[in-house]
Amino acid sequence: MLDLDLGSFTHPSISQVGGKYWFYEKDEQSFPGQSFGLEIEKILHHTHSKYQDILIFKSTKFGNVLVLNGIIQCTERDEFAYQELITHVPIMSHTNPEKILVIGGGDCGVIREVIKHVEMGTVKEVTMVEIDDMVIKLSAKYLPQMAKFHNDPRVKIIIDDGFEYLKSLQTQSNKYDVIITDSSDPEGPAEEFFKVNYFNLLLNALNENGIVIMQSSENIWLNINYLKNLLVNAKQVFHNVRYLQCYMPLYTSGQLGLIVATNDCQNDLSSPQRSLPADKQSQFKYYNSAVHQASFVLPNWANSLLNN
Q: What is the model's pTM?
A: 0.93
CA distances from 262 to 80, 204, 238, 267 (A): 25, 12, 6, 8
pLDDT tens readout for residues 155-212: 999 999 988 999 999 888 889 999 999 975 545 444 555 578 889 999 999 999 999 9
User: Which CATH homologous superfamily contains domain 14-73?
Assistant: Spermidine synthase, tetramerisation domain (2.30.140.10)
Domain 14-73 shares a fold with domain 79-307: no
Q: Is 182 a catalytic residue?
A: yes
Q: For domain 79-307, give the fold.
A: Rossmann fold (3.40.50)
Give 264's strand partners. Answer: none
Distance separating alpha carbons of residues 29 and 195, to the nearest angstrom: 17
Q: Give domain limits for the chain.
A: 14-73, 79-307
pLDDT in 10s for each residue of the chain, 308 residues:
455 788 889 999 999 999 999 999 987 776 778 889 999 999 999 999 999 999 999 999 999 999 999 999 999 999 999 999 999 999 999 999 999 999 999 999 999 999 999 999 999 999 999 999 999 999 999 999 999 999 999 999 999 998 899 999 988 888 999 999 997 554 544 455 557 888 999 999 999 999 999 988 788 998 899 899 999 999 999 999 999 999 988 887 889 999 999 999 999 999 999 999 999 999 999 999 999 999 999 999 999 999 87
- Of 27, 132, 182, 264, the active-site residue reads 182
